[in-house]
Amino acid sequence: MGLKDWIEAPATAVVPATRSKLNWLRGATARLTTPLLPDDYLHLANPLWSARELRGRIVDVRSETSDSATIVIKPGWGFDFDYAPGQYVGIGLHIDGRWHWRSYSLTSPPNWDDKRISIAVKAMPEGFLSAHLVNGVPSGTIVRLATPSGNFALPDPPPERILFLTAGSGVTPIMAMLRTLSRRGRRPDVLHVHSARTESEVMFGDELKALADDHPEFRSHIQLTRSQGKFALSSLDELCPDWRERTTWACGPLPMLDEIERRWQDEGITDKLNLERFAVSRADTSGKGGTVTFEKSGKTVTVDGATTLLEAGEGAGALMPFGCRMGICQTCVVPVLSGHAIDLRNGKEHAEGDRVQTCVSAAAGDCTLDA
């Protein structure tokens, strides 16, 4: 490798090779300062500076409902603010001695004021990181960030007629889209149907109402399911007679998205449908668990059959690349060197020589990964 290639190569797997000049600079800094000025020196000067990884500082935690909060983050050096509205970001928090990573849709429009980003988190019952983010994380906490990504994104220019179907925390990527449209002064014809159990559980309820009051081309239909029942897709014909012609973005619980997908399939209009799933549908199966060896990083850990290989590696300190963490993007694929792994979505077993998606696979007995 020549000097130019060496400087231009990505500093680490979480830093994309092809992005901005800033990333070029980060890669160069990581190499030119090692070992004379390691990353720790940058960290001492300012915890947001790192040549090896994207970092951010939580600057505000604002309650949205009793079990959800908006978290505002000021990213450090190298973060690309030119993401598309609807994309998600990976967030890593250091708790009890290990890094915990999850994906969250950005709720801030791209290039938001003061170079900040925001996410909105709903605390899941028994959810580890979501509960911590909503109820426990103090302002000032330093987090790790992964580059924004995902195809659930609003194009620029947007389509002229749009339908948003959301429920619960599924409203979050749509908030980024609505805020972006509002900031850019775009006026497409938008119907947003959002479901929540009660009025007090509607995330961004006041903002949605204000948007509808201020913009006649934006209609907001809030379905309170405890008193009004589930939103029936059949009622779209009355509420929005041209729904079949609208470009649709849908995000919410898996059964809701499955129903929407079937309906759009039946109508032969799946080319108009964009879906975002926050969780993986798991088959009624799990691995046997076992001892997982990460060959390249020299780490070993014993895990149960429900822990994904990606989580196992993160727990053991064997960090592997990842993107969506739900079996879509293929960023997390690594070869199995020996033993077996199982795909938690469908129970398919992988053996030596196969490449597994570590975010949706678990150990089926002892196994060794090329990671």
For residues 238 to 277, the per-residue mask of contacts with ligand FAD, x marking binding by CB under 6 A and - elsewhere, is ----------------------------------------
* By CB under 6 A, residue 104 contacts ligand FAD: yes
Instruction: Report d(CA 178, CA 214) in Å as an integer.
Output: 13
Instruction: Report d(CA 193, CA 176) in Å as an integer.
Output: 16
Residue 327 touches which of ligand FES, ligand FAD, none (CB < 5 to 8 A by kind)?
ligand FES
Instruction: Report d(CA 332, CA 323) in Å as an integer.
Output: 7
The answer to whether the peptide bond before residue 255 is cis (omega within 30 degrees of 0) is no
Say which residue the tokens 């300190």 belong to. Answer: 317
Closest approach, Cβ 54 to ligand FES, in A, equals: 16
* By CB under 6 A, residue 30 contacts ligand FAD: no
Both tokens assigned to 154: 């609003």
User: Which of residues 105, 118, 223, 307 is near ligand FAD by CB under 6 A?
Assistant: 105
Closest approach, Cβ 230 to ligand FAD, in A, equals: 17
Residue 164 touches which of ligand FES, ligand FAD, none (CB < 5 to 8 A by kind)?
none
Instruction: Report d(CA 223, CA 197) in Å as an integer.
Output: 8
* By CB under 6 A, residue 324 contacts ligand FAD: yes
* By CB under 6 A, residue 121 contacts ligand FAD: yes
Q: In Å, what is the CA distance from 278 to each residue of 68, 96, 213, 254?
A: 15, 25, 30, 8
> Would you call 271 helix, strand, or coil by DSSP?
helix
Instruction: Report the DSSP pairing between strands 333-343 and 218-224.
Output: unpaired
With respect to ligand FES, which residue has the nearer C-beta, 83 or 322? Answer: 322
* By CB under 6 A, residue 172 contacts ligand FAD: yes
Residue 172 touches which of ligand FES, ligand FAD, none (CB < 5 to 8 A by kind)?
ligand FAD
User: Which of residues 14, 93, 129, 362 is near ligand FAD by CB under 6 A?
Assistant: 129
Instruction: Report d(CA 320, CA 351) in Å as an integer.
Output: 19
Both tokens assigned to 314: 């993160």
Task: Annotate 214-254 with DSSP letters as a single string.
Answer: H-TTEEEEEEEHHHH-SPPGGGHHHH-TTGGGSEEEEES-H
Residue 279 touches which of ligand FAD, ligand FES, none (CB < 5 to 8 A by kind)?
ligand FAD
* By CB under 6 A, residue 5 contacts ligand FAD: no
The residue nearest ligand FAD at its CB is 127
* By CB under 6 A, residue 310 contacts ligand FAD: no
The residues binding ligand FES (CB under 6 A) are: 322-325, 327-332, 357, 359
Question: Are 334 and 358 spatial neighbours (Cβ–Cβ below 8 Å)?
Answer: yes
Sites of contact with ligand FAD (CB under 6 A): 88, 102-105, 119-122, 124, 126-131, 150, 169, 172, 278-279, 324-326
